[in-house]
């Protein structure tokens, strides 16, 4: 049974000042001083509660920094549009307020854009880097899959409740929606607990759409792991390989049957892949593609390394 969303997280909320905005964040596991820090940056439409499935396992290995992106959760709402660079400034402000000089960083979807930009522009703040279900940004990335484009076009004809359900289902694999409908209900419950402001959602989408990687990922110095679901219909899974190829020494792990929110669909496998990579002093072998052994409940590995694919030259979608 899931815990309700009210309770102790409210009392643990702290605030950092990023320009005119107050950024809400939470520190967990601070008593374990020997454990490294891990910053978690969520994607579009979710606040720090969106990490719920993986928190218990990650907390066994790391001290966690959970951030509410601007306009979400308990962070202040920005007055207008913003860019990924502004969100990077928010993360730096949180690290400064918490007195954290350097940390591992995990970003998912839009949060993955923030995490990679943080590693590019503030390399001294990033130790290990994990980029999940994200894209390298335009002009060299695969566009949003057709299924999501059709859903976005159809959204204007739906009620708000129906649209929220359809987009939630689209963020999971069809197999997960069929066999684990409770995950859809839980995500809808989470979104209903602290509803997103439509204006901020639009601003997030615009920030993701405008993000230009321009091959600058080649500057990333941090040890990097790229994670992607092979059944992701929000961000084309081939973008995972583009990122891994572009970042020096990066490793790629794919979860073949999982969708965009792979950390909800296989929380244990996702957390194990993150912890195994970040805690490894030195990964063996010359391969840029890593398959971290992690078994699903059925006993079969959900991880594989993809083969070579043609590089695209089209703009990337919002994440």
State pLDDT tens for residues 155-210. 989 998 999 999 999 999 999 999 999 999 999 999 888 888 999 999 999 999 99
Q: Residue 123 phi/psi, 5° resolution? A: -60, -25
Give the tokens for residue 26. Answer: 């939470």
With contact defined as beta carbons under 8 Å apart, do 183 and 189 qualify? no
Q: Which domain holds residue 256?
A: 9-279
Q: What pLDDT shows up at residue 135?
A: 97
Let me know if residue 257 belongs to a domain: yes
Question: Using CA of residue 138, residue 144, residue 145, residue 150, what is the dihedral sign?
Answer: negative
- Tell me: pLDDT of 312 over 60: no
User: What's the rounded mean pLDDT across residues 37-64?
Assistant: 97
Let me know if residue 315 belongs to a domain: no
Confidence of residue 308 (pLDDT cuts 50, 70, 90): very low
pLDDT digits (tens, 9 = 90+) for 281-296: 544 443 344 443 333 3
- Tell me: pLDDT of 218 over 50: yes
Let me know if residue 309 belongs to a domain: no
With contact defined as beta carbons under 8 Å apart, do 170 and 233 qualify? yes
Let me know if residue 17 belongs to a domain: yes
Let me know if residue 201 belongs to a domain: yes
Structural domain count of the chain: 1
Write down the mean pLDDT value for the chain. 87
Q: What pLDDT shows up at residue 196?
A: 85
- Tell me: pLDDT of 26 over 50: yes
Tokens 């940390």 correspond to 103
Q: What pLDDT shows up at residue 41?
A: 98
Q: What pLDDT shows up at residue 195?
A: 85
Q: What is the CATH number of the domain that holds 236?
A: 3.40.50.1820
Let me know if residue 313 belongs to a domain: no
Question: Using CA of residue 162, residue 165, residue 170, residue 176, what is the dihedral sign?
Answer: negative
Let me know if residue 104 belongs to a domain: yes
> Strand pairing partners for 253?
227
- Tell me: pLDDT of 56 over 70: yes
Q: What pLDDT shows up at residue 290?
A: 45
Let me know if residue 190 belongs to a domain: yes
pLDDT digits (tens, 9 = 90+) for 96-107: 999 999 999 999
């Amino acid at each position: 049974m899931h815990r309700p969303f009210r309770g102790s997280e409210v009392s643990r909320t702290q605030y950092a000042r990023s320009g005119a905005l107050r950024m809400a964040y939470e520190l967990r596991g601070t008593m374990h001083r020997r454990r490294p820090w891990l910053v978690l940056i969520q994607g579009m439409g979710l606040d720090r509660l969106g990490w719920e499935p993986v928190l218990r396992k990650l907390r066994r290995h790391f001290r966690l920094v959970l951030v509410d992106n601007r306009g979400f959760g308990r962070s202040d709402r920005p007055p207008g549009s913003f860019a990924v660079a502004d969100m990077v400034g928010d993360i730096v402000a949180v690290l400064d307020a918490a007195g954290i000089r350097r940390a591992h960083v995990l970003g998912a979807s839009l949060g993955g854009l923030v995490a990679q930009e943080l590693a590019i522009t503030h390399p001294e703040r990033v130790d290990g880097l994990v980029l999940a279900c994200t894209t390298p940004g335009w002009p060299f990335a695969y566009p949003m899959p057709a299924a999501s484009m059709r859903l976005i076009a159809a959204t204007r004809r739906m009620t708000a409740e129906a649209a929220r359900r359809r987009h939630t289902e689209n963020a999971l694999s069809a197999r997960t929606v069929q066999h684990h409908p409770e995950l859809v209900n839980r995500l809808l419950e989470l979104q209903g607990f602290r509803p997103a402001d439509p204006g901020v959602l639009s601003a997030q989408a615009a920030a993701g759409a405008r993000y230009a990687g321009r091959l600058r990922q080649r500057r990333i110095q941090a040890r990097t792991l790229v994670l992607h679901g092979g059944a992701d219909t929000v961000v084309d899974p081939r973008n995972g390989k583009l990122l891994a190829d572009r970042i020096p020494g990066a490793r790629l792990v794919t979860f073949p049957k999982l969708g965009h929110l792979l950390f909800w669909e296989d929380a244990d496998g996702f957390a194990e892949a993150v912890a195994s990579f970040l805690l490894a002093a030195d990964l063996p072998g010359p391969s840029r593609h890593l398959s971290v052994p992690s078994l699903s409940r059925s006993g079969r590995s959900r991880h594989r390394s993809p083969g070579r694919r043609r590089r695209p030259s089209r703009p990337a979608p919002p994440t």
